[in-house]
Structure 1
Amino acid sequence: MLIVEPVLETPEVRDFPFWPVAGFPPYQFAPLSGRMTAEEVGSALAMLADYNARAGDGDYPTDAEGLIRGLAEAEKILAPGGLRFHDTATGTTVTPGCCCGLEDWREWLDVPAGESLWLGHAPSPRFEHHPGAVHLWPDGAEAPEPPSCPPVRIPLPTLPSILHTAQQDLLAFLTLTHEWATPRFPPLADALVTALDKGLTVSEPLPRG
């Protein structure tokens, strides 16, 4: 069975002062879905707000509302992460490498047309086209031969349903984000969800396979 999840890098927020967050180890990957707790949603938003505030040109906000406002008003949202693939039959898991972004998850739409994807580095997931499928390995993108572990095999006809499942998880995350933000930052809840929807290209319809 193939399990595919949109994931976001967990933040270094042990001393995060602005709102409660989950106790994730930093620099791992946590799935975004409708099954998240309020603290997990808080962690995801802490990562996104902090990362984009540091990547921007302005001063770093000094309070929680300023941090959320910066995310809600961002022209472009960067979201370290991507799609994580796990094959339960082989135990192989492929996670996004460094500098891969969840904001680019729709690039998978181009794969059936023969496009190859760069999935980050350190580790550098290996991506290969094969007849009727693509194969993924957790590392080895620059190696002359694939790793010895079995690949995650993704049949091309299944990609539309895979991406629709990822989209549903992201839509559910947006719903939880609105529920999280409404009591904390009432004037910003709608704008925050709109910005995340646009930045991660969530609700735009996907083609049917």
Structure 2
Amino acid sequence: MDAVLETVDTADFSLWPVAGLPPHRLLALSPHMTPLEVGTALATLADYNSRTPDDHRPVTDAHERIRRLLETDKVIAPGGLRIHHTDIDVTVSPGCCCGLEDWREWLDITNGDTPWLGHDPSPRVEHADPVVRLWPHGGDAADAPSERPIEIPVGDLPGILRTVRDGLHGFLSLSPDSGLPATFRLSPWT
């Protein structure tokens, strides 16, 4: 399981160096990212969070883009959590309109809750004590999809999510400025 960010189109982006990744690609955030991947992730975050309700002026330099990102009350981060089960070769990716900023909601699965995983492809979650089943799509269907789901023991989720948190910490350690807003900072588990 890893935290992923859906990239924006950076073909015309020139405020800082970025990787030549296509838009709408899921980029895993981790301590193993290249500097250009970190630049792309920050460009995506800055793009999604650069429009403030009271300031419609265009952003013309890197300092202003980062300043607006750091002053954001709640950072919006397109993406979410991606799970891949290597033994059965199934991947569940976040759907459209899912946000990485809500990644902690996955911990609520241990209480029987179902987090929003987006739509199109509409990932599906099913509680089947002592496991949770995840399908890449079929969230809106009345019946379970015919393909094999990923099954995760509910008791393993907190540990798995700690590895996600560690990967996000690693990404932030690569960022030129880790002073992101409090809503995006990664607090310890309580």
Indicate the TM-score class for this superposition, using the shorter chain for normalisation: over 0.9
Contact map agreement 2:74 2:184 (CA 8 A) in 1: no
Which structure has greater helix proportion? 1
Q: Could you tell me which residue of structure 2 aligns to residue 194 of structure 1?
A: 179
The 5-angstrom pairing of residues 72-151 of structure 1 reads 72-151=70-149
Figure out how many residues of one structure are paired with residues of the other and give that number: 188
CA offsets 1:51-78 (integer angstroms, 9 cap, x no match): 1114x32223111111011001111100
CA offsets 1:150-198 (integer angstroms, 9 cap, x no match): 1111111111110110010011111000xxx2xxxxxxx3xxx2225x2
Contact map agreement 2:80 2:99 (CA 8 A) in 1: yes
Q: Secondary structure, in 3 states, of the residue corresponding to 2:27? A: strand
- The counterpart of 1:159, out of the listed 151, 157, 178, is 157
Partners of 1:132 and 1:20 lie apart in 2 by 46
CA offsets 1:22-59 (integer angstroms, 9 cap, x no match): 121210201000000100000000000011114x3222
Q: Secondary structure, in 3 states, of the residue corresponding to 2:50? A: helix
Q: Which amino acid aligns with 2:184?
A: L
Partners of 2:185 and 2:124 lie apart in 1 by 25
TM-score (normalizing by structure 1): 0.86
Unpaired segments ≥5 residues, structure 1: 182-188
Q: Which amino acid aligns with 1:48?
A: L
Contact map agreement 2:129 2:154 (CA 8 A) in 1: no
> Is 1:171 paired with 2:169?
yes
Q: Which amino acid aligns with 2:150?
A: V
Q: Quote the offset at 1:201 in angstroms.
A: 4.0
TM-score (normalizing by structure 2): 0.95
- The counterpart of 1:70, out of the listed 68, 71, 74, is 68
Partners of 1:116 and 1:75 lie apart in 2 by 26
Q: Could you tell me which residue of structure 2 aligns to residue 186 of structure 1?
A: none
Q: Quote the offset at 1:109 in angstroms.
A: 1.7
Q: Which amino acid aligns with 1:62?
A: T
Of all paired residues, the percent bearing the same amino acid is: 50
Partners of 1:28 and 1:127 lie apart in 2 by 23
Q: Which amino acid aligns with 2:11?
A: R
Q: Which amino acid aligns with 1:174?
A: L
Structure 1 residue runs of 4 or more that deviate by more than 6 Å after TM superposition:
none
